[in-house]
Structure 1
Amino acid sequence: MNRALWPVGLPRTLDYPTTGLHTLLPSAARAYGTRTALVDGDLRLSFAEVHDKALRFAQGLRERGVGPGAVVALVQPNNIWFAVSYQGALLAGATVSPINPTQPAEALAAALREVRAAALVTHPACLPALRAALDASPALLTVVVPPTATAPAPPPKPGPAVDTGRTVPLAELLTAAPAPATPRSPDDLAHLSFTGGTTGRSKAVRVRDRHVWANVLQSTCARSAVLPEYDADGLVTLRRIPEAVTPWTGEPGQETAVNVVPVFHAMGLISQSIALLGGITVVGQGRFDPREFLSAMVRHRATTLTGSPALHHALLAAIDAGSYDLRAVRVVASGAAPLDSPTIARLTAAFPNAAVAEGYGLTEATMALTLVTPNREHPAEPGCVGVALFDTELEIRSLTDPAKPLPTGETGLVFARGPQVADGYLDRPELTAEQWVDGWLATGDVGRLDEDGQLFLSGRAKDMLIYKGYNVYPTQLEEVLAAHPAVAQVAVIGAPDPDAGEIPAAYVVLCAGAQAEAADLLSFVADRVAPYQRVREIFFLPALPVSAAGKILKTELRALRAREG
């Protein structure tokens, strides 16, 4: 491998913990103590305070019968208490299931049933959508976190008030005396993380402690030029490797980030633990406003920025219209979808001291599989999402014969294996067997590897589209639309959009004699999916183009959409 593509002085393999995740937060608290870990408006928690409150939360769960083997569902927007409840559930020995809080009531209830949640931690704004689920599960322990600046109280709504008689305020759990964490093993189940949205087609991925530890350490060591060392109790100390340090390398306990990435998604969830282990102060932001976000970056002298291309496009538009001193930023990281060359050039100009670096991963691999080593002077080639992380292997296989590896430089299906690759889907043995083959994960993406091990993605084997950084699956939307009584056939594609990246566009064939307006179908879908999953365009056709085998030719639909603009 070309050594410029990997931090000089760092090995290609790491030593991983022999403990579970109960040692991560105390390692951070010991290392960073009174340094501010989380900021939410005027509310601040130090690393030591996050640890103390998480221990109290853990004991509060235990006193209510929630511990090892139990699933604690987190249905709440980004706020300072998400980290406390997440870490606290782990310290109680439980499994965490982060669930998208923007979903409709039926989808939320289905997700809670799927993971067999024993406890729920939620926010006042989510309670109306959860009313039916709570009524159906009166024994479900429901903890409600207080509103914050990042996640304010919801406005009053007409209709019957939500019965909060069975809910428990977070403050009540935090009155418990902090007790030692319940020991965990590397094979304990840490997460049940949902892929894509959380509708009926979504899948809960089994992510174990060892997978989280691996991905957190892989990312932290690469981005901060450190290696882990362990004491007799399993606590981690990060040892700096001077020869790996560059002007774009973060330093543990010295970085600040402003965040709007949803923490119920894999990127946000694992980045939260990376921030704790790396001593990064994270400033939360509520509803995304580009100018407010940039002002917060300037005010807090943020040193790092992570987001999707849609976020970066919005920030660039705001930067063009205003004046912001962004010289403190050293790294602009991007994921969820490829950045185009003009956008990379604009980001490089807007952040004069920063390197732009992309990465690649998926929920089935906990979060990340590759990284680009940040280097402003020698940026990655267009389309490159980096090289494999520590102890991670990538392989390109034939599109027609997934068992056949391809030579370097050829394009095919991307397969991966490594310590961060999860071990399957919850209660989906057939799908697990399809995705995990002989120790390798079939990512579902298409790409190529060059002679230096750099991965270049060229598309997705499946027809997933990405709307503002969120994965949207056409199959889910097709099933929703197909349930409409006027719809005979439907196909959903991703249509290019300058602001969102891609938008869902549906081509519909109506039942004979049926009538429906596009607005009616758009509303039908919107009532049944999360806001980011909504179909944005409806087109009517007398018939869908199909192959001789009867397969819908979405390539023709994309060409049709391009012609019609």
Structure 2
Amino acid sequence: MSERPVSTTDLDSYIADLRQLQARRRPAEIPDHVVYPAGEITIPAHVSHWAAQRPATTALTFEGTAFTYPELDDLHRRLAGWMADQGISRGDRVAVYLGNSPEFVIAFLAILRLGAVHVPVNPMFAPAELTHELRDAEPGLVLTNRALASTVEEVQPRLDSPVPVLIVEDGWADAIAHEPFTGDDGDLDALAALNYTGGTTGLPKGCQHTQRHMLYTAASATTATQLSAEPGFTSLCYLPIFWIAGEDLGILLPFVLGGTSVLMARWDAATTLDAIEAFGVSVMTGTVENYLELMARPDIGERDLSSLVDPQAVSFVRKMTPQVRADWAAAAPSSGTLRESSYGMTETHTIDCVPYGFAADDEDLLAEPVFCGLPVPGTDIAVVEFGTQTPLPLGEVGEIIVRSPSVTDGYWRNPEATADQLVDGWIHTGDNGRIDEQGLLHYLGRRKEMIKVKGMSVFPAEIEVLLAQHPLVESVAVVPTDDPDSGQRPVAFVLPAEGATVTAEELVSWSRENMATYKVPLVKVIGALPMTATGKVRKHELAEDAAALNR
């Protein structure tokens, strides 16, 4: 049981009042309830449904290869049949260690149809990171490619027991030639995914999600933004689909709506413009830098972008401003209004609150940053005193907490973290925010020590834990510093083990071998860390040194 003080009556009353305020600002055309286009069925069942209803519709296209709904339905059933023959059954974890590709999508559907558990693994992971997730999830199978297979092979001796591996270049053809799985569509309410997220207390934790969480996320997001299951919906996704945000955009939204997923391996401005025109893309999400690059192309004025009804931006390094919006409107006048995407986190399946419908006169961009707008239908958001669930008066800054049908059931094999963050159905985000007098959410920054490197989340505690594995390291303190190219960079202050000598260059080299590139810190070896009387590192005292190191 959590030790957080709970004021249920006050919180219930607060939410009831808040819903009334929000109803007044909700755009008239947006319903206050979630619309499920094909009913409340599993994600693989959606593919089967649309295969029957829209047999000619392209479900997925990737680098010139397209799959109709009947083809995708058949392929994922065959892979599910092959996995079942390998001993994978309900509740078993399957790690997918791949980049954006049809194989990732087909595996995702096959795993869910079996009632097994999808474990997406960052394809940028180096051995130490991969070891942690495989040891924690204990998958019965890893799907990967030749480029990544050597990393899997390297970590096998570090696991409690070897894990079987399917390398797509070698065994995929046989797997999808298997007889189709003849079982049911999977379980809407059983554990379906472990989406790993970092934190301030150590290495990443697996957020437990069900297919109902996935379905609600897609259906509530489309309801809140006026997207429908009418033929023609198309999403463009170059976000990594191992990210839960990429999963939402590149898999869940199109398949729940019976539309088309245009999947790209990575960002490319020319390919993006071609795809928008060729496939009639309805929705895309990119960084502000992506849109600036599109606007800088000399041919953008000649391109037909009229299908793009909801272009969404994410402010990582460069920020969305009225000027960026105006520039996009001038460059692509036939497209929809450029807006910020959404507020959310891995624990809630990402899309909790959207600023959709507030672009008139730049209300969303001129409000106190970061303006998040209204919760999607079915989601409640409150701002409470940190450490309690006592709601704060409108306008006051406190901790954002979220309750919705997509909130994680808890952290995999981590009851302490679950009890700390999940209280009576509310997830405590650790984020600072306020709710204004109209019931609209404003995000004011993370209380957690998260660093954003080109949009990628880097948690100091994770780097500290990894660097501390070096045999010559005694302790580590990681702090952020601003960086003009990446937004922020992690800086590691390292205290060597007693009697040891190690250089910053050696530790950076070791980090490159054991961490994803975006996590590799700047390093300074020091003789002592500044400590409080209670034995905690005074990280604020390291900030000035961190900034100097990055000049």
TM-score, normalised on structure 2?
Answer: 0.84
Matches within 5 A, 1:57-72: 57-72=79-94
What does residue 30 of structure 2 align with? 10
Structure 1 unaligned spans of 5+: 147-167, 227-237, 239-251
Shift of 1:117: 1.1
Shift of 1:417: 0.7
SS in 2 for 1:14: coil
SS in 1 for 2:347: helix
- Cα distance in 2 for partners of 1:348, 1:562 equals 37
**Alignment partner of 1:383 out of 360, 364, 370:** 370
SS in 2 for 1:210: helix
Check the 8 A contact 1:77/1:123 in 2, yes or no. no
Which range moves more in the overlay, 312-321 or 73-82?
312-321
What does residue 201 of structure 1 align with? 203
Check the 8 A contact 1:357/1:374 in 2, yes or no. no
What does residue 320 of structure 1 align with? 296
SS in 1 for 2:224: helix
What does residue 55 of structure 1 align with? 77
Distance 1:125 1:10, change over 3 A: same
What does residue 516 of structure 2 align with? 530
Distance 1:214 1:300, change over 3 A: closer
Distance 1:253 1:145, change over 3 A: farther
| Residue 74 (str. 1) matches residue 96 (str. 2) | yes
The structure richer in helix per residue is 2
- Cα distance in 1 for partners of 2:326, 2:524 equals 36
Distance 1:292 1:21, change over 3 A: closer
- Cα distance in 1 for partners of 2:393, 2:406 equals 25
Check the 8 A contact 2:127/2:515 in 1, yes or no. no
Matches within 5 A, 1:45-194: 45-133=67-155, 140-146=163-169, 169-194=171-196
Shift of 1:261: 0.7
- Cα distance in 1 for partners of 2:532, 2:471 equals 26
How many corresponding residue pairs? 514
SS in 1 for 2:118: strand
Check the 8 A contact 2:358/2:373 in 1, yes or no. no
**Alignment partner of 1:334 out of 313, 337, 346:** 313
TM-score, normalised on structure 1?
Answer: 0.82
The percent of aligned pairs where both chains have the same amino acid is: 27
What does residue 502 of structure 1 align with? 488
- Cα distance in 1 for partners of 2:136, 2:507 equals 28
Check the 8 A contact 2:239/2:266 in 1, yes or no. no
**Alignment partner of 1:283 out of 246, 262, 268:** 262
Letter in 2 for 1:142: V
Distance 1:56 1:374, change over 3 A: farther
SS in 2 for 1:203: strand
Letter in 1 for 2:168: V
Which range moves more in the overlay, 554-563 or 501-510?
554-563
- Cα distance in 1 for partners of 2:83, 2:498 equals 56
- Cα distance in 2 for partners of 1:114, 1:337 equals 30
- Cα distance in 2 for partners of 1:483, 1:55 equals 42
RMSD: 3.0
SS in 2 for 1:407: coil
- Cα distance in 2 for partners of 1:108, 1:404 equals 39
Task: Write the deviation string for residues 413-455 of structure 1: whole angstroms up to 9, x where unpaired.
Answer: 1111111101101110111100111221111211111122221
- Cα distance in 1 for partners of 2:428, 2:261 equals 33
Shift of 1:270: 2.5
Structure 2 unaligned spans of 5+: 1-20
